[in-house]
Structure 1
Amino acid sequence: MALGPRLEVRQSLSQKMTPQLQQAIQLLQLNSVQIAEFVKSEVEKNPLLEMATPEPEVYSPLPSSSATTEHDAGPFQNIASKVSLTEFLRAQLREMRLPAEDLELALIVADEIDPDGYLREPVSDVAGRYHIRSKDIVQGLKLVQRCEPAGVGARNLRECLALQLQDRDRFDPAMRTLIENVELAINGDSAELARLCRVSQDDIEDMLLEIRALNPKPGARFGEDPVLTTAPDVFVSINDAGHVKVEISTLNLPKVLVNNIYATEISGQSDEARAYISECRTRANWLVRSLEQRARTILKVSTEIASFQKDFFRHGVSGLKPLTRKTIAKRIKMHESTVGRIANGKYLSCAHGNFELRYFFSSSIGSINGGQGFSATLVQNRMLSMIKSERSTDVLSDDKIVTMLRDEGIDIARRTVAKYREQMGVPSSSVRRRQKAGTGKV
């Protein structure tokens, strides 16, 4: 076969997002405070845009309820820092100058990272929601784990500690063995750790000091600077007829107007002025439409969530049902990724407190009698209630919690109880027993 230059015509199809579509997706991800800042920036750049003077609005915080845990301080008690962990990660990823495909995967993972720095949702679930392969999500996760703070993107405590030790170049074989057997450190069995790690007792003590100097929640520092209050995006209430009512909040929702009179005055001066005004008008009209679409989308998703979880708004956490983003997406004929963007960072205020929309999504735990399953969030709250009410003389083991939950009709395995306990930051029964006796020590 002869080699030489030749011309070929090929036909192919590909999907590309326009800059307008990319910015529309970006607006969906912003919370009410961030959207106000974005609009203010656009108004400063575009002479045709004006901020409408908001009408005075009387707002009285809805009362909290004992049915909540961390959300019982009222609607305006959720505080965000100047830069969120997600924003911090996204900025670092963009600075890496990654190929476009790798960057998109890493940004997807960054959006799924919990505020304390962990990726708690299974990789397979994230991959399924975005209709991509699990190995692609793992690839994106590895890129996120290269970011600061060290330990971010871990899926459990062991991986978090390992990532921080790798960052310090201290993850040698002995330290790896210690991390793999960290429960022995929690139980105070340093002699067995020394044997497994093949080091002396003094070395184990030094290694444990290094472990204690690590940060088990690398993302927590992003919530320490209380500068911006996260206002609710929607309000949910129960009317006199017992029906759930959903209203979008206008408290922090910016309203912009297009000044067409000014545009007419300027556009008649020169060709250059007309071209500039035409571009400004296009951007201004796009922003107005995007803000309206964003508000409609938030209301649509929130209304469907409230409809599905109406028992929660009537009875509190005991009425919470298992729910996935896919379920909501199917019911409102919307893409699952759009529901995910709406759920992250948007808050709902009701009689039980202020909740992020994604709080209402949780997996299902089976029922003993084969009936409707239980929400994982409900089960976690029930576990926390049991542990908080335990006596120092009768600390509940994971097996005992399993028995108590099964008595309530919840079909749960011991490993699931242990996983939920670790996710909530609750130590094991042996550690809690020592803590209640006044001798708790890691």
Structure 2
Amino acid sequence: MKMEFGLHLTQQQKLVMTQQMQLSVKILQMSAYELNQYIDKEILENPVIDFQCNESNKEAFDYKNLIKYFEYNRNTYVNENNGEEKISPFNFITLKKTLKESLKEQLLYLNTDENMKKICVYVIESLDERGYLGSTVDEIASELGVSVQKTEKAISIVQGFEPCGVAARDIKECLKIQLKNKGIIDDKIYFIVDNCLEYLANNKYAQMAKKLNITTKKAQEYGDIIKSLEPKPSRGFYNGEETKYIVPDAYINKIGDEYYIIMNDDIIPKLNINSKYKQIINSSKTEYDDEIVDYVKNKINSAIFLIKSIEHRKNTLYTVLQEIIKIQKDYFDYGSSYLKPMTLKDISDAIGIHESTVSRAIKDKYIRTNNTTIKIKDLFTAGIYSRNGGESISRTSVKGMIEDIINKEDKRKPLSDEKISRILKEKNMNISRRTVTKYREELGIVSSSKRRRY
């Protein structure tokens, strides 16, 4: 084998993203919440950045103005300028409270001896994430070295706390505690809880009625009562997960026959460069060390690029929304049934930017329109073509039609998926039964057998 060494000159094209380009892309795809978090971090790390809260947010930071409203036993205050009564901002200050914390607070007001309170605390700490008691009476009594009677009393005490149904050993006990709390003493409903929950889950009221020797309608009435109960007592309490609040990036408002986009500038503070640092780089070099001047220049360049990137994010989203409104005017006028098929490519071709840029611009972003906050991404949907190959319609529109058909059906004789498919075909939409079933399940609507009312 002959081996040769040599130098060869080749030319190739490569796209190399600079650090600034990467930052610009990163900011473009940030949600309003993420952008605020990022800006807070930059303000702390970059001393040349000045920030100013928007007018609508000033009151939230004006502590002297806010503290005068802090009056005990008052839920409202009067605005001194116009005399109007407003809700006190302190009404919205809440603490995250877990189920166990709530139960322990209720225990503080219990008139019983400290020993019993300690057993109750142990019972509370033994609850699982649903609010159920996973340990048996014997296990708790053995672990604490107390009598079974005292343990049973402690469990009974905790079961008397709010939310009703807490500290139950299983779902049956949880439901029965709630029934007793409501003053319901009918033996048949307790029999259903003990023996017929599977029938109830599947709306098999006829089998349930036969078992109890009652009418199907009466069985359904019992079922409605049981379904109104809470099978998970811990629902609504803080479980350790952070709540992310949805903040719209823009408002779509209709004025006359036209829709206008109002960007939500209140979501982020207004950033600018501190004038003192501008003086440093504009002054003669003899006044400051070169190292200081270079440091300030770098920080100012970073701040300017951040401000430009935020503005670019805003302008790109505005341009995308303008095109969305052109395509989806019927949706904004009449609702989800009129949502047209629309893809990222449709928008990118119309405004002359890459599909990936459109995707980043709408990522995790919301708009507020018609008293509803919606995710922009949900307005994008592929088309389903009608039977004769005519105008395409969106999946969302089809789902809306299916939901509307089900809402208008006779609940005594609910429509099967096959029947719904035939109704849609009569409207010139070739939607198969399997597709109807898929969309119905995605809408969270149960089958016809479970929708039937007696």
TM-score bucket of the superposed structures, by smaller chain: 0.5 to 0.7
Corresponding position of 2:244: 228
Return closer, same or farther for 1:187/1:14 CA change in 2, 3 Å cut-off.
Answer: farther
Q: Distance in 1 between matches of 2:324 and 2:57?
A: 26
TM-score by length of 2: 0.55
Query: Superposition RMSD on alpha carbons, in Å?
Result: 3.1
Q: Percent identity?
A: 31
8 Å CA contact retained: 1:316, 1:352: no
User: How far apart are 1:280 and its partner, in Å?
Assistant: 0.5
Return closer, same or farther for 1:223/1:253 CA change in 2, 3 Å cut-off.
Answer: farther
Q: Distance in 1 between matches of 2:269 and 2:428?
A: 48
Report matched runs for 1:37-52 at 5 Å: 37-52=37-52
Whichever residue aligns with residue 51 of structure 2, its letter is M
Give the counterpart of 2:271 among 256, 266, 269. 256
Whichever residue aligns with residue 26 of structure 1, its letter is K
User: How far apart are 1:388 and its partner, in Å?
Assistant: 4.1
Corresponding position of 1:407: 426
User: How far apart are 1:30 and its partner, in Å?
Assistant: 1.1
Q: Distance in 1 between matches of 2:411 and 2:203?
A: 17
Return closer, same or farther for 1:187/1:3 CA change in 2, 3 Å cut-off.
Answer: farther
8 Å CA contact retained: 1:366, 1:412: no
Corresponding position of 1:271: 290
1:304 matches 2:323: yes
> Which runs of 5 or more structure 1 residues have no equivalent in the other structure?
59-185, 189-221
| Larger displacement relative to structure 2 (290-299 or 4-13) | 4-13
8 Å CA contact retained: 1:345, 1:356: yes
TM-score by length of 1: 0.57
SS of the equivalent of 1:2 reads: coil
User: How far apart are 1:228 and its partner, in Å?
Assistant: 3.0
SS of the equivalent of 1:355 reads: strand
Return closer, same or farther for 1:313/1:392 CA change in 2, 3 Å cut-off.
Answer: closer
Corresponding position of 1:11: 11
Return closer, same or farther for 1:409/1:314 CA change in 2, 3 Å cut-off.
Answer: same
> Which runs of 5 or more structure 2 residues have no equivalent in the other structure?
59-201, 205-237
8 Å CA contact retained: 1:233, 1:249: yes
Return closer, same or farther for 1:229/1:51 CA change in 2, 3 Å cut-off.
Answer: same
User: How far apart are 1:368 and its partner, in Å?
Assistant: 4.3
Which digits, 9 at most, give the CA deviation of each residue in 1:240-276, with x for residues without a partner? 2x11111111121332101243242378421211221
User: How far apart are 1:363 and its partner, in Å?
Assistant: 1.4
Q: Distance in 1 between matches of 2:322 and 2:49?
A: 31
Return closer, same or farther for 1:368/1:339 CA change in 2, 3 Å cut-off.
Answer: same
Corresponding position of 1:394: 413
Report matched runs for 1:69-88 at 5 Å: none
8 Å CA contact retained: 2:53, 2:269: no
8 Å CA contact retained: 1:238, 1:314: no
Corresponding position of 2:347: 328
Q: Distance in 2 between matches of 1:374 and 1:404?
A: 16
Q: Distance in 2 between matches of 1:19 and 1:407?
A: 57
Q: Which has the higher contact order (CA 8 A, sep 6+)?
A: 1
User: How far apart are 1:425 and its partner, in Å?
Assistant: 3.8
Whichever residue aligns with residue 330 of structure 2, its letter is D
Give the counterpart of 1:238 among 229, 240, 254. 254
- How many residues were matched structurally? 276
Return closer, same or farther for 1:305/1:55 CA change in 2, 3 Å cut-off.
Answer: same
Q: Distance in 1 between matches of 2:313 and 2:239?
A: 26
